[in-house]
Amino acid sequence: MEAEDALIQEVPAEEAVAETAPTNGNTPIEPDLASGNFIKVSAKGNVKAVAGKIAHSAREGEVPAALCIGPECINVAIKAIAIARTYLQQDTIDLSFQPAFRDADRSKKSLALYIAKGKARAPISTVDDVEMPIGSQSKPQVVAGALAARIREEKSVCLTAIGIDAVSNAVLAIGNARLYLEQDRKDIRALPSFVQCTRMAVTSTRCALRWLWRTSKRASCLPIQTAGFVSERGLA
């Protein structure tokens, strides 16, 4: 996957408008979690080992959900998915994910990342993408409002994040944006990858994570919230 320069800044305040998410009723825990079809990601987990497990599962059948608690776990899981995508390139398999909150309090960083596999497609031009840099101090619900607005406008969006807290904030923003888009009958999924980045006009060897979006007007079965607070949405 080609690296691209990404200038990391905060989301403009005038564009970041918070929204109110719909209230969800009690729903039993998702079958795939209840049946044990998940992996628990540790904050100290070996990223490449987790990536290998995800890639192996994708080759053999369904990919388990990744359960994460805290920014460090989320960061490990997202990097693992990005690496697993590179492992699967020769198998013409690609991966995307959707985050679901596991607690009614969406400020808590307890998530289930539902990973879906599909056939790898030819690289899509990102020239017209709307770039939304995420920082360690970004407010996820505010970023989610701006993201949802772009999706409603049918724009292709990329989130770029560097660092544990920034990556965690980006994933939380994705989860909140999914809730905001429920009333529009739209949903989104993300394809994380590593890109070279530039900060303060200096090219850095550090990598950022970029999310490429795919939207759908019809949901299949992936949840937005789990563990008693499920609202059914999914992929096209």
AA letter at 15: E
Query: Number of folded domains in the chain?
Result: 1
Query: What strands lie across the sheet with 187-199, from one edge to the other?
Result: 38-40, 65-69, 110-119, 93-101, 187-199, 202-216, 157-161, 130-134
Question: Has residue 17 been placed in a domain?
Answer: no
CA dihedral over 20, 25, 26, 31, signed as positive or negative: negative
pLDDT of residue 127: 56
Measured CA distances, 114 to 49, 65, 80, 129, 200 (Å): 18, 5, 13, 24, 35
Within a domain: 4: no
Whether 198 maps to a domain, the answer reads yes
> Is 3 a member of any domain?
no
Provide block-wise average pLDDT over 10 residues at a time, the chain (236 residues).
34 46 42 69 94 96 94 96 95 94 81 92 64 92 94 87 92 93 90 78 58 53 38 30
pLDDT of 230 = 29
pLDDT score of 137: 95
Closest of 45, 52, 48 to residue 88, by C-alpha: 52
Position 38 in a domain: yes
For 114, the domain range is 31-216
Q: pTM score > 0.95 for this model?
A: no
pLDDT at 213: 58
Residue 21 falls within a domain, yes or no?
Answer: no
Cβ-Cβ contacts under 8 Å for 145 (sequence gap 6 or more): 16, 17, 18, 19, 177, 180
pLDDT at 200: 62
Question: 115 in a domain, yes or no?
Answer: yes
pLDDT at 10 (0 to 100)? 38
CA distance 164 to 167: 5
Q: Is residue 180 part of a domain?
A: yes
Domain harbouring 53, CATH code? 3.30.110.20
The C-alpha atoms of residue 106 and residue 181 are separated, in whole angstroms, by 16
